[in-house]
Amino acid sequence: MTLPVQGSLGTWETRAIVITMMPILIGLSILQMGSGYILETLEETYLGNPTLLVMVPVMIDMGGNLGCIMSSRLSTRLHLGLLTFKLRDENLQTNVGAILALALTIFTGLGIAAWAIGEFVISAPLPLVDLLAISLISGMILAVLAIVISIGATWLSYKWGLDPDDTTIPVVTNVCDILGVIILSIVAIIIL
Amino acid sequence: MTVRTGIRRIYSESILILFVSLGGGIFAGSVLGTEGMVDAFERIPGLLLLLPAFLATRGNVYGSLGARLASGLHQGLIEAELSWDRRLINAITASFINGIYISVFIGLLSWAISSVLRPEADPSLVTLVGIMLLAGLLTSVVMIIGLVILVFAGYRYGLDPDNLVGPIVTTLGDIFGVVFLFVSIMVVGAIV
């Protein structure tokens, strides 16, 4: 690594920023077409029950959010040299417990909110029980996958000697974003 | 520290931000579930396919601008005021370019995939790229202005910009992304 020369724009050059981000943005857009393809395949289910569409942005965001919280906590422990990958590690148990508790709260809230919007705003009602079941089952599966992927990715970056801040967090966030729509769709067709 | 108190601490640190993100996501979802939007998904082949990519790339484009502004403020490379600063202008220009070309690319990609998979639906290149170009333009202007003002104001107020960027990007992105997608569909639909 070279030290930035005083007064030089370095990584603040427009061209440099655009070129660095291009492969990430292009790759991510192509991957996201996978989620889009699933939405399109299940077009009848989604457009027939617009209340399901209400859940889509939250499912896209929340997988990434949970994965991001989990993997940044793990990567900080890794930087401090305190991380172990044993099941009896109390810190690991704490992180896993916290993510599951957060997911339980958020996806209960999502189920209730989606029901209320379907009932009162867009007049496409679905039963509260169905929406809670879809939101909680897909949300908890997503949370468990976010945890497993975060641990796996942190372990790999530890093995390969990569800085998890640069590698794990963006990868985990984007993979979890994509999984959200896929899991929601599978759970929704099973329940409805 | 016991596992239980640790879980409680992480939970209370993260739950507020996740609820803000949940609120933004539910708002966006409600717009997607409106009759006008469902109708557009039925009428315009390829639109549902590009939805996840359009929603997810904004996080990467403007999240990266936000992270750059936060690091720049911490390093003293930029100042928290709206001035004709070379670095600030470069960073803003770069994320504007990123936001526009990736939106056009997503429109193009969705047209190409739809043409191969569902040629009978006869997807329109002009419509898909037009909607993405307009939505990308409107979203970037609002996101960049909003992000710069909020990050600078927060920093002057004594808040750590690193903690602000994530929630600001998800919330603004969800709200304006879908609203401008809706506006663009209406505008392009009226022209084409």
Going by C-alpha positions, the residue among A117, A136, A116, A124 that lies closest to residue A183 is A136
Mean pLDDT, rounded, for B96-109: 96
Which of these ranges, A105-109, B37-41, B110-114, B153-157, has the smallest mean pLDDT? B153-157
Domains in chain B with CATH codes = 3-191 (1.10.357.20)
Is the pLDDT assigned to residue B41 strictly greater than 90? yes
Reported pTM: 0.88
Name the closest residue on chain A to residue B51, using Cα atoms. Answer: A36
Residue A171: count of CB within 10 angstroms of its CB? 18
Residue B109 pLDDT grade (very low, low, confident, very high; cuts 50, 70, 90):
very high
Arithmetic mean of pLDDT over chain B: 92
pLDDT given at position B177:
93
Q: Does A122 reach chain B within 8 Å, measured CB to CB?
A: yes
Closest CA to B146 of B168, B162, B177, B167: B168
φ and ψ of B107, to 5 deg: -60, -45
pLDDT of residue A161: 83
- Considering only CB atoms, which chain B residues are within 8 Å of A30? 109
Distance from CA of B65 to the nearest CA of A (A): 10
**A45-191: CATH architecture:** Orthogonal Bundle (1.10)
Give the number of other Cβ atoms within 10 Å of residue B159's Cβ. 13
Candidates A129, A110, A95, A101; CA nearest to A62 is A110
Crossing angle of the two packed helices B161-191 and B3-32, in degrees rounded to 10: 20
Residue A6 has pLDDT above 50, yes or no: no
Structure tokens that stand for A125 in this block: 């009602």
Q: Which residues contact A51 (CB under 8 A, 6 or more apart)?
A: A114, A115, A117, A118, A122, A124, A125, A126, A131, B33
- Position A125: which residue type? P
Q: Are the beta carbons of B56 and A28 separated by less than 8 Å? A: yes
Contact A12 B51 (CB under 8 A): no
B114, burial (CB in 10 Å: exposed 0-12, middle 13-18, buried 19+): buried
Structure tokens at B3: 């596992």
pLDDT tens digit string along A31-77? 999 999 999 999 999 999 999 999 999 998 888 889 888 888 888 88
Give me the percent of chain B exceeding a pLDDT of 90: 67
A8 pLDDT band, cuts 50/70/90, is low
Q: Do residue B3 and residue A90 have CB atoms under 8 angstroms apart?
A: yes
Average pLDDT over residues B47-73: 90
Residue pair B37/B182 in contact (Cβ under 8 Å)? The answer is yes
